[in-house]
Structure 1
Amino acid sequence: MRLLLVDDARLYAEPLADKLRHESRIAAVDTACDPAQVARRIAAGPLDVALVNAAMAELLPVVRLLAAHRVPAVALGVTESEPEILALVEAGVRGYLPKDGSFEDLASVLDHVTRDELLCPPRIAAALGRRLAALAARLPPALPSAPLTPRELEVLTLLTRGLSNKEVARVLSIEIRTAKNHVHNILDKLGVSSRGEAAALARQVAGAAAPPSRAA
């Protein structure tokens, strides 16, 4: 496993990096302290997982950068408040370690992340479900000449976030084949030929339906 440890405090990052290097299943551990260094490491070669200190100032930009390059990110030192975790998941985090988590807990989180699973308590899972429903509700109940089912609206919402069929299936707890069928139906109903076109159309319609912002 090739890891990237992202922390703007080297005093804390280097001891953890040294400990991780002694793990037999970890082939390499690199460190970075800001988005520019993260970008350079991504360009240098494949990464399996990135560990990001949740206390760093540029946390969300780093997570979004990693997500854009399909590098699973794990946030370290999370308070487990619902707003914090929802913001992290929406930015692209695939797992997190609470502030009181141990090194052994980190190993468990890495196991789940490499299996494309999100390890979280039921309270957080319920919050994620509510957030997903709220995002789906922001889309119109039916696009012109292309009515979508509630499940298809959920899938379309996830497509706007760039999720793959496998990731859609995991989030919605459905089979990958079912997710593929939903995507196929969405493309047919919207009259588009790709997932990107479907996502772009959804964003366009959602933006048109949004109320105008008020001047301060």
Structure 2
Amino acid sequence: EDTLGAFAVLVSENDGVNPIVRTDVIGRHTIGSGASPQAVMTAIVTNPLDRVGISLKDIDRFAPELQNPEITVPAGAGNVPEANYKMIAALGVKRGDLERKELLSFVAEHGMPGYAPTQGHIPSGVPFLGAGRDMILEGSIKNFMLIGKGSLFLARLTNLFDGISIVVEKNPGLEAEQVGGVSADEVRRLIAEAMRELAQTLA
């Protein structure tokens, strides 16, 4: 594979339009989580959703390792994205979120083909961020989960896995910030008036 991959993401103040990052739905793989594929997916996918009462079906798209299978299958690594989706769906069946007959349809409806270069963390979810944002803004989906997992460097050093996930969802729009029953804009206006009055007394 003759590809050099890189990415950058700008996370800024809520503008009331662009999708928001749910900081209360963050999954992380800890040392005590276990290293089996099931344990990793439980820690970074289902556990954070359980904390806020969201089911697997409530997430429109999952973006795990998105390696291009045209590269990984001939190399003997298999179809990595599909394997991840099947693991998530299997967890859903085990938890009762899905029926067994829904497993393949869940993969088709909540997954996507892999298309990213395979180096390091580049394929782990982030390549979908731009497309996912556009899909939310156009209304075709309401949310998605980015899943970053697996580090060859860490695994070689410690025999441990690493992983993290975040949920990005449609922006509900800005509401007036309330400060003790008064909007933030009103507070700013009152401060400005007080400063003008002070300046007049000093003149």
**If the TM-score is normalised by the length of the shorter chain, which range does it land in?**
under 0.3
TM-score (norm 1): 0.23
Q: Which protein is bigger by CA-based radius of gyration? A: 2
TM-score (norm 2): 0.24
Whose RCO is larger (CA < 8 A, sep 6+)? 2
